[in-house]
Structure formats: C-alpha cells, structure tokens
Amino acid sequence: MKIRFNIGRKIGFGFSILIILTIVVFALTYRTLGTARVINTKINDIYNPSVSSLEQLKSTVLRSRTLVNMWAFVQSREDTKEKMTLVKLIDEEIPTIKYSTDSLSVHWTEGERRQKIAIYRELDRLTEMYSTVQSSLRDMQSYDDPMTRFEMSEYAEEDGLIFQQAVIVLDALNGLINEQKSNVTQDSITMIASFNTLESYLRNLGIALLLLGLIIAYFTVLSITKPVLQLKTVLLGLGKGKFPESALVPTGDEIGQMSVALEQLVSSLRRTTQFAYEVGNGNFDTEYEPLSDEDELGTSLLVMRDGLKEYAVERQRNEQDLERKVDERTREVVKQKNRIEKQNKRQQELLENIRASIRYAKRLQDNILPSEEYIRRVLPNSFIFFKPKDIVSGDFYFVQHFGEKVVIACVDCTGHGVPGAFMSLVSHNSLKHAISRNLDLNPAKILRDLSDLSAEALNRQDADGGGRDGMDIGLCIYDQNAEELEYCGAFNPLYIIRHGKLLITAPDKITIASIEGDNKEFTRHKIALEKGDMVYLFSDGYPDQFGGSKGRKFMYPAFRKLLVESSELPLRQQRQKLSTTFDAWRSGPNGILEQVDDILVIGIRHESA
C-alpha cells in the first residue's frame, strides 16, 4: 500500500529527525557522564585511598626503622616512649594499615595484588628482624653483653640487615604507589578524553541540528509554498478568463488533492468553453452533458443553445429587430470603452501627480540636508554614505558649526519613503529648534527638548496619542581644538576606532517623541580624542540589509569588522568600500535583493588642530 506523504507527515517527519538527534545528544551525554562517574568513583574510592594507605605503610616502615635503631644502640628500659611506640607500630598500626589495604586491594588488578603479597612477605621478614632485636635486648642487662651488642649491630647498623630489608620493602612500596598513581593519571586521561569526545559530538550534532532544522524548514515550506503559489496563479488566471498552459502536477498531500480538484475544474471549464464556442458558431447540435444536476452554468448553456436554435429558425423574421439590438449593444460597449479610457486617463494623471509630489518632497528634503561644500568646509576630514531606499528617505544627517564646535547628528525616523520623509522634515525642524534652545550645546538637553518638541509636533499628548512614530538618533558635539567629543544617543550607538581597536559607546534605550520616555534623562558622554581616531555614526539600515549566499542580514558583527578593516583607508576609499560591499552583499545567487531600509553612515577622522 502506497503511503501518502501529506503535509502533517512531512512536518512530523522533520520534527522526528530533530527529536531523534536530540535523543542521541542526551544519550551520548548520559553515557559519558556515567563513564565519568565510574572513573571518578574508582579514583576517589580505590586509587586515592590505596595511595594514601600505601604511603601510610611506607611512613610506618620509615618510623619503625628509626625506632629499632634507637632500640639497638640506645640502652634504655623496656617502658621508654620510643620502645613502646615501636611495639605499638608492629602490633597495631602495621596490621591496621594492612587490613585497610587488603579491603582496597579487592578492586586491584591481579598483578597489583601479587605485588602486595610480595611486599607483605618482605615486611614480615623485616618485622621478624625487629623481633630479633627486641628479644635480644629486652632489658637493661641485655645491653651489657658484648656478644649481644655485636650481633645487634649487624642487624641495626646503617648498612645492616634491617636497613637493607627496609630498603627492599620501601622500593616495593614505591613501585606499587607509582602504579596506583599511574592508574589515577590514566583514568583521568580517559575521563578527559571522553569529555573531549562528548564535546566534539555535541558541537558536531549541534551544527547538524541547526543545519538540518534549516533544511527541513526550507523544504517543508517549499513543498507547501510552491504548490500553493501555483494554485494561486491558476485561480487568478481563471478569474481573468485564462486557462493554465500546463497541467498541474499533483503531490501526495492535501495540496495535491486540491491540485487534482482544480485540474478537474479546469478540464470541465474547458469543455464548457468549447461547448459555448460551438454554440456561438451556430453548431447547435453539439452534445454537452452538465457536470451535475447542480451545474447552473451547464444548464444555462443548454437553455441558451435551445434558445439560440429557436432564434436561428426565426432569424429571418426578426432580422431587423436583431440588428437593432446589436446596434444598442454596440453603443453600450462603446460607452463602456470610452468610460474605461477616461478612467485610465484619470489614473495616469493621478499617478503623475503623485510622482511630481514625491519629486517635490525630494527637493524639500534635499534642502534640509547640508551641502557637500558646507560639509567639506566644516568637517574636511569626513565622509557621508547616504543611500535612501526610495526617492525620499526617513534617514537624514545634520551638520552645523557653532563657533569652535560642530553639531553632528545621524537620525533614523520611523519608516522610509514618503512617510519617512514627512517624519524627517518634522524631526529636522524639531532638532534645529532644540539646538536653538540649548546654545550651550549640551547634547543631553538637546535630545530631551527634541523628544518634547517632536511629541508636540505629532500631537502626542498621552501614551496612546500620535501612534508609535519617532526617531533614533546619534548626536555629537565635536570640538577639534579641544580634541573632545560629546555624545548622546537614542538607540544609535557611537563607534570610535583607535589604533585598530573598536570602542563602543552605548546609546540610551529611550525613543525620541515617546510619551513613555518623558521622565527619563539622556546620558551625556564626554570622550577625549586622539590623533587619527575614526568616529562613526550610523543608522540600522546597513546591518539589517538582507543578502549573501543565504539571503541573511549583514548583522552588526560583520558591520563592525568592515569598519575596523576600512578605518585606516583614506575617507573617500572608506565610503567607496562601504558602497561596493553593500552592493556585493545584495547580489545573491537569485539576483539583486531589494534594499530594505534607508542607509546612512557618517565617518569623521580626528586630526589635531
């Protein structure tokens, strides 16, 4: 039985793959964590305690060797502290340590346990030597016997039997300790390697999840959007009386069923059209079967055929009447034609008036922008990359000098095109008014007054009044002689590139002309400039542009990288690089993408006065 791959199954299949990959990620993580827990348990519960126990045994051997030497060479009573300590070491501490080591050695390898048994044998020989010394010198009188003292010196002297046996025990202990430490190191390396492997798996699976999710989403949307658009095209054509040139290709989903139904409809309409054509040509004997009892069009055509057939019989008798009716209908058609031509003419005139209005709005907007000559005179070391989306723009730049200082603003009004242009005129007027109110050129006060003036101009008296229109702005007061820059911003940041490093001054998150921002104050930033600093103000149009091989946004990280790479170039070349990069980004595999917003970038290089 053939499985229908409908839309629900397509979406379910895509999500199933993503869920399976997610389960794989969780399984790998769980397995790695389980391995890590086992290794960590071995290190903490076996290897480290084993090393500690063996080190303790080693320390006990060293202490006992020292104490037995004192027993052999220092004449003392049997109840002295040193002798009592040695007895305690031999009778209590060494057995206790051995017991602890035995409980841990259950988890050792066979070779390690054999090493332990060999150490115990050598340790027993050593304690037997201790016992020989203890029994030979058990009281004060024993030390007076020259033969006894001579025999004990053979045991306890520096290179004597006890020393040599102790060395054997210590060397064996060191070897076993090193093996336990090596086990810790190897298991730690294994655990780290497992985590590294998990990290690699997670990274690769994460990338695979992202790519697969995008691919599944793309093909799912494509499998739905393309057939729907095809159906839409056919329906629009049918609405205009045009049949599709090619047959619809059905798929196995619900849209495919719609395609089959539409294809049946097209076929029926073709047959009905052909019947109407034959009837119109006078072939009244043409056979035709309505689609169903409810087919009003087919029934009407049959009635029309019968009526025309009767009419043909009576045509001779009613010829004059027919000619009269034709003339009336012809005159009506001519009237309708004239009416349509007049409407088309009015629409052309209206369109031309709109275009003329937009061109006039362009001239008005150009008048508010400072001229290139003025900018070269006030800011000789600067460039402006300005690329409106439409004829008119919602972005504009402002440059005006006041004595030794220059006011520079990069403004992004709500919208673009004609609405944006209207906002830019309101905003420009409000900005000039706000500056005239604050001749001390305090940027924070200028933005505060700009917000109030713009809200007043837009008749925004409460939070619901005047819509959501407003602007983002980056405002700078540049004093070249003082080598200082003051900055205030509303959503538009300030970038300074100094010696190849990017310094970002964040704006306030306050919308100009917003009632919600009435009680908020803008932050005033004072920045000391250094020779060669590149200062940038910009709107969000450049980073938000779609393009590239995948049709994505340019984004701020790529924009910042472009500015840093271009900052050392001459200003004219910087502007050219911004332009060529923007055009190249828009030129994707499917052609040049539409510009989504107005583009404005202002660059200023500070040179000492």
Q: Dihedral angle at the C-alpha atoms of 160, 161, 162, 168, nearest 10 degrees?
A: 110
* HEC sequence for 42-73: HHHHHHHHHHHHHHHHHHHHHHHHHHHHHHHH
**How many C-beta neighbours within 10 Å does residue 270 have?**
11
- Distance between CA atoms of 220 and 253, rounded to whole angstroms? 12
Task: Tell me the pLDDT tens digit for each residue of 376-430.
Answer: 999 999 999 999 998 888 899 999 999 999 999 999 998 766 777 788 888 999 9
CATH 3.60.40.10 in the chain, residue ranges: 370-605
| 223, pLDDT greater than 90 | no
- Distance between CA atoms of 43 and 187, rounded to whole angstroms? 8
- Tell me the fold of 7-208: Four Helix Bundle (Hemerythrin (Met), subunit A) (1.20.120)
- Tell me the fold of 370-605: Phosphatase 2c; domain 1 (3.60.40)
Task: Tell me the pLDDT tens digit for each residue of 182-213.
Answer: 888 887 888 788 778 878 877 887 888 788 77
Task: Tell me the pLDDT tens digit for each residue of 113-165.
Answer: 898 898 989 888 888 888 888 787 777 877 777 777 777 777 777 778 888 88
DSSP track, 273-308: HHHHHHHHTT-TT-----SSTT-HHHHHHHHHHHHH
- Which of 211-225, 287-301, 310-324 has the least mean pLDDT? 310-324
* Cβ 604 vs Cβ 542: under 8 Å: no
CATH 1.20.120.1730 in the chain, residue ranges: 7-208
User: Which H or E run includes 501?
Assistant: strand 501-505
Strand partners, 300: none
CA distances from 593 to 124, 332, 552, 588 (A): 89, 47, 11, 7
* Cβ 487 vs Cβ 476: under 8 Å: yes
* Cβ 489 vs Cβ 473: under 8 Å: yes
- Distance between CA atoms of 202 and 208, rounded to whole angstroms? 9
